[in-house]
Each structure stands twice: as structure tokens, then as C-alpha cells.
Amino acid sequence: MANHPWKTDNWFVSQWNYAPEVTKDFKFAKQIKIHDITLRDGEQQTGIIMTMDDKIRIAEALAEAGVHRIEAGMPIVSPSDAAAIKEIARRNLGPQIFAFSRCMKEDVQRAIDTGVNGVVMEIPSSQHMVDLAYKWPMEKAIETSIEATRFARDNGLEVVFFPIDFSRSEMNWVLNLINRVATEGHMDALALVDTFGVVSPHAMQYFVREVKKRINKRLEAHFHQDFGMGVANTIMAAAEGVEVLHTTVLGVGERAGNTPMEETVMGLLTMYGIDVGIDYSKLTSLANLVQKITGVDVPSNKPVVGRQLYQIESGIIASWYKNCGEENATELFPVRANFVGQPPAEVVMGKGSGIDSVKAWLAQLGIEASDDEALKMTAGVKGFSLKNKRLLTEGEFRKIAEDVIGERAAA
């Protein structure tokens, strides 16, 4: 069968994704860039602490994966953070390096001192946040933002406005504010910030379109996962022409985390035909590195990079796998394992296993058994797994086989 966008050697998704009725209004940019924020917003997840060496290792891995931009941290946080950002910038790893700062001249100076290419600058964007969180008079917040953004521009930094809590503001009010700061100060790009993950995918289209009516600058998407909408919202924003996507490895980040890179880039590639140009085979090793450094708990069934995604316990799926073979693996998995850097699919032994699973293991171990004997082993496997509430090891399976057929199962 010839390749189609929905069915290639490496993935098999729904052809409906590519129906003209679905795609006719898409406005994807010619190039979409990934702006990784693992080292800044990712580290804001409770309990995550990265040393300077940790940050450099992750930055190097991000660069190897082909990420376009890295937000290396917030220099004002600590001397260690500033030193890490400076070292990452000094190494010329390939991606553009950004720092994050508040709308204050002192913060911008710290960013300048690190040698970064640009700054993502937090500006106030809701009356309630200015009143309750900043506890500033609104005019002070505006004047400080104008001064800081102008100072960043004058010192050669690319300036991305980051209106915190953008999505809970009154639209015209906040766009008037942004326009004033951009006109009297400076703005190269505007991040559409859903700080608390509270925009629905349907409202995201409205959000982007309303902003584009008033703002003629590059738009960037920065969304959180409080209601699990980050990936959907990021892709919806991209389909409306947003050019830069802020993501973290594994979706680490404040509270419920940020939009996870793995799911976003694979969703774009397979369901929309949008290749952002990264090395997809690095996704799993990158996720494993971040998991090891941060110590975060990663669900074993985490999309794209979960450690058990390509393990087959169910008896019926093991039968399908036997019939399809590795060459037709996308009949059972939407993405081929090695394409995202996962180990090959394997049949594991547990409560859900069937006779085909047992026969597969017997063949691997070079043990001959009749169908009746294999059925008895299957019952033994199910009983062991139920009692111990886990998968079996090879040794435990061999012991069950020995109980059924004796010395023929010995190593």
C-alpha cells in the first residue's frame, strides 16, 4: 500500500484528519518552532531542583534533538541559575537561548549579563493580578514594563511579551494594555499565555483570532495543563497561525505542568502532517534524561515515551502481534517504537496473558510443549500474577513451565 499522510512506515492514524472538510480552514505557519521551557517553567514544579550541571546536560540533549529555542532560566532567581544560563549561552549549542525576566530593568540587566539572544518578559495583564498579586498601582506596572522592554531592545535582546494570566483578562482591556506597552516600549513577539490552563480548545480559536485582529506581531503559545488541555490548545493555536510553541519535556511545570513536547510534536506530525524539524528518535532518551534528573514520577503509559507503551500483556493483542509481526507493528501501535526511540515491542507475562503469549515465551526459551501443557502454564501464569499483582520474570515463568513439564523446561 502506498504511503499516505495518515499511514506511513512509521505511523497509522485516522484518514479523517486529512479530509478537506477538516483541513480547509487551517492556517499553519510555514515553519513552527519549539521553544523549550523545561529549564525555567519546568523547574517550577514543586520538588524539582536542577543543578548547573543538570541544566547543561538537559540543554545539550535538547540541542541534539533539534529544539529551536531554549528558555534557559530566570537569572534573578539565584547566582547558580544565572551561571547556568551564561554557560549554556556560551556553548553555542545551536538553539537560540532565552532568559525569563519580570518587567523590571534590573531583571533585564541580569539577562543581558548572561549573553542570551532574547528575553521572555512577564508583563501584567489582568487588573486583579496587578491589584492582588503584584500589589502595584496599574500605572506603575505599565511604566515599569515600558522602561524594561525598551531597555531590553536597546541592548540587543529579542523581546517576547509574556502577559501573565492573559486568558482571564477582559479581551479589549488587555489588548489595549499590550498595545500601549508595545508602542511606548518594544515588542518583537507576543505570547498567548494561559497561565492556569483555563481556556477550552473551542475558545482557543477565538483567543487567537481576536488577538490577531489587534496585534501584528509573531505569536507564541504558552499553555498549562490544569485541565489537560495543553496539547489540544497548542495545536489549535498553531492551526490559527501561531508560530512558536512553548513546551516542556514530559510536561513538567508549575501545578499540573506545561504542554508536553512529546505529544505535541507527534500529534502535529501524524495527525496534521506538520513536521517541526526535530529528531523524533531522541524523544524517549530526552524524556528519560529529564525523568532521571528531576525524579518526577512518569506514568508507565505516558503517551509517546511511557516505559510500558510497547509491552503487550493482553492475550488477544499478543495474538494480533504474532499474526502481524514487527513489519506491521502500526496495526497495533499508532507509532512504530523505534521512530520515537522506544525499545521494540515485546510480549510480557501477566494476568492478562493468553496461550499465544505463553507460546511466544516458550519459543524464546527453546522449550517445547503441547497445547494442553501450554494451557496449564497459562493458568499458572494468571494465578501467579493475580496473587503477586505484577508481571512475571523469565525465571518465574520457567518455574511454572517446570511444574507442568518437568526437566524439559530446565535452563
Give the tens place of pLDDT for each residue, 350-396: 999 999 999 999 999 999 999 999 999 999 999 999 999 999 999 99
Answer for the pair 122, 162: CB distance below 8 angstroms, yes or no: yes
Q: Residue 299: inside a domain, yes or no?
A: no
CATH code assigned at 140: 3.20.20.70
Q: Report how far residue 158's alpha carbon sits from residue 120's, in angstroms, rounded to the nearest whole number.
A: 8
Q: Report how far residue 409's alpha carbon sits from residue 123's, in angstroms, rounded to the nearest whole number.
A: 69
> Does 231 lie in the same domain as 179?
yes
Q: Report how far residue 243's alpha carbon sits from residue 223's, in angstroms, rounded to the nearest whole number.
A: 14
Place 129 in a pLDDT band, splitting at 50, 70 and 90. Answer: low
Which residues, 6+ apart, have CB-to-CB distance to 404 below 8 Å? 369, 373, 376, 377, 380
Grid coordinates belonging to 60: 545539550
> Does 205 lie in the same domain as 279?
yes
> Does 136 lie in the same domain as 75?
yes
Question: 393: domain range?
Answer: 311-409
409: pLDDT strictly greater than 80: no
> Does 348 lie in the same domain as 259?
no
Grid coordinates belonging to 49: 531542583
> Does 126 lie in the same domain as 185?
yes
> Does 159 lie in the same domain as 27?
yes
Q: Is pLDDT larger for residue 95 or for residue 130?
A: 95
Answer for the pair 91, 114: CB distance below 8 angstroms, yes or no: no
CA torsion sign for 204, 210, 215, 217 is positive
Averaged pLDDT of the chain: 94
Instruction: Count other Cβ atoms within 10 Å, centred on residue 293.
Output: 20
Per-residue model confidence (pLDDT) at position 137: 74
> Does 132 lie in the same domain as 273?
yes
Per the listing, cell 486583579 goes with 128
Rg from Cα positions in the chain? 26
2: pLDDT strictly greater than 80: no
Q: Residue 67: inside a domain, yes or no?
A: yes
The dihedrals phi and psi of 60, each to the nearest 5 degrees, come to: -60, -40
Answer for the pair 349, 381: CB distance below 8 angstroms, yes or no: yes
Q: Residue 34: inside a domain, yes or no?
A: yes
By DSSP bridging, strand 244-247 and strand 311-312 are: unpaired
Per the listing, cell 513439564 goes with 405
Q: Residue 7: inside a domain, yes or no?
A: no
140: pLDDT strictly greater than 90: no
Q: Residue 268: inside a domain, yes or no?
A: yes
Q: Residue 184: inside a domain, yes or no?
A: yes
Asked which of 294, 321, 336 is the last residue of a domain, the reply is 294
> Does 141 lie in the same domain as 67?
yes
Q: Residue 300: inside a domain, yes or no?
A: no
Per-residue model confidence (pLDDT) at position 383: 96
Instruction: Count other Cβ atoms within 10 Å, centred on residue 411.
Output: 9
Per the rule left: phi > 0, alpha: psi between -120 and 50, beta: everything else, 3 is beta
Per-residue model confidence (pLDDT) at position 325: 86
Asked which of 269, 294, 319 is the last residue of a domain, the reply is 294
By DSSP bridging, strand 96-102 and strand 33-36 are: unpaired
Per-residue model confidence (pLDDT) at position 410: 65
Q: Residue 329: inside a domain, yes or no?
A: yes
Q: How many domains does the chain have?
A: 2
Grid coordinates belonging to 339: 521512530
Place 217 in a pLDDT band, splitting at 50, 70 and 90. Answer: very high
Per-residue model confidence (pLDDT) at position 326: 87
> Does 239 lie in the same domain as 99?
yes
CB burial of residue 216 (10 Å; 0-12, 13-18, 19+) = exposed
pTM here? 0.93
> Does 404 lie in the same domain as 288?
no
Place 132 in a pLDDT band, splitting at 50, 70 and 90. Answer: low
Per-residue model confidence (pLDDT) at position 1: 43
Grid coordinates belonging to 369: 510443549
Q: Please tell me whether residue 264 adopts helix, strand or coil conformation.
A: helix
pLDDT digits (tens, 9 = 90+) for 221-256: 999 999 999 999 999 999 999 999 999 999 999 999
Per-residue model confidence (pLDDT) at position 138: 75
| Closest by Cα among 295, 300, 262 to 281 | 262
> Does 326 lie in the same domain as 211?
no
Place 405 in a pLDDT band, splitting at 50, 70 and 90. Answer: very high
pLDDT digits (tens, 9 = 90+) for 299-319: 999 999 999 999 999 999 999
> Does 334 lie in the same domain as 288?
no
Asked which of 294, 327, 343 is the last residue of a domain, the reply is 294
131: pLDDT strictly greater than 70: no
Instruction: Count other Cβ atoms within 10 Å, centred on residue 74.
Output: 24
